[in-house]
A and B are shown apart, each in its own frame.
Chain A
Amino acid sequence: MELSLVVSGIETGAFYGLVALGYFLFLRATAAVNFAMGAYVMFAGLAYGYFSEDPSAPLVLGLASAFGAAVLFSWITEDLILRPMARRARDEFGAVMAIVALMFVIEQLAGLAFGRRPLLGRELLDGALVVGSLAIDYHDLLALVATLGTFAAVAAWLKRGRYGRMLRAVGDNEAAARALGLPVRRVRLVAVIATGLICGLAGILVAPQTALSFQSHLSFAILGFIALVLGGVGTPWAPLVGGMLVSAIEAASARYIGGFARDYVLLALVILVFSFRPEGLFTVRVRS
Chain B
Amino acid sequence: MLVSLVLSAAFLAYVEANAYRQDLGMLAIAYALLALGMYLPLALCGSLSLAYNAYFAIGAYAVAIISHAAAAWMPVAIPIAVLISMATAALLGLVTRRLSGFHLAVATMMFGIAVHTWLLNTDSVTGGATGIGDIPRLDILGWGLDRGPLIAFGVILVWLIATAIGRLRASLVGIAMRAQRESLVAAAANGVPTAALRILALAVGAGIATLAGVLLAFMNRFVLPDSFAIKVVFLVLFMPVLGGLATPWGAVLGALLVVAFTLGFDFFQGPGSLTFGLLTLGVLLLVPNGLLGGLAALVGRRRST
Contacts and interface: CB of A to CB of B under 8 A. Distances in A.
Decide whether A and B assemble into one complex. Answer: yes
Interface of A: 32-33, 35, 80-81, 84-85, 88-89, 91-94, 96-98, 100-105, 108-109, 111-112, 116, 215, 218, 222, 225-226, 229, 260, 263-264, 266-267, 270-271, 274-275, 278
Given A100-B234, A101-B238, A102-B281, A263 B117 contact: yes
Contacts, number: 113
A275 B271 CA distance: 40
18 contacts: A32-B102, A35-B105, A85-B285, A96-B48, A97-B241, A97-B284, A101-B277, A105-B274, A105-B278, A111-B268, A222-B110, A225-B106, A263-B110, A266-B110, A274-B96, A274-B103, A275-B96, A278-B99
Contacts of B79: none
B259 interface: no
Interface string B258-275: 000000000011010110
B95 A271 contact: yes
A263 B114 contact: yes
Interface in B259-305: 268-269, 271, 273-274, 277-278, 280-281, 284-285, 288
A92 to B, nearest CB: 4
Contacts of B142: none
A91 B46 contact: yes
Contact of B237 (A97, A226, A229, A260): A97
Contacts of A215: 231
A222 B99 CA distance: 16
B191 interface: no
Q: What's the dominant secondary structure at chain B's contact region? A: helix
Contacts of B46: 91, 93
Contacts of B99: 274-275, 278
Contacts of B121: 260
B164 to A, nearest CB: 24
Contacts of B284: 85, 94, 97-98, 101
B274 A112 contact: yes
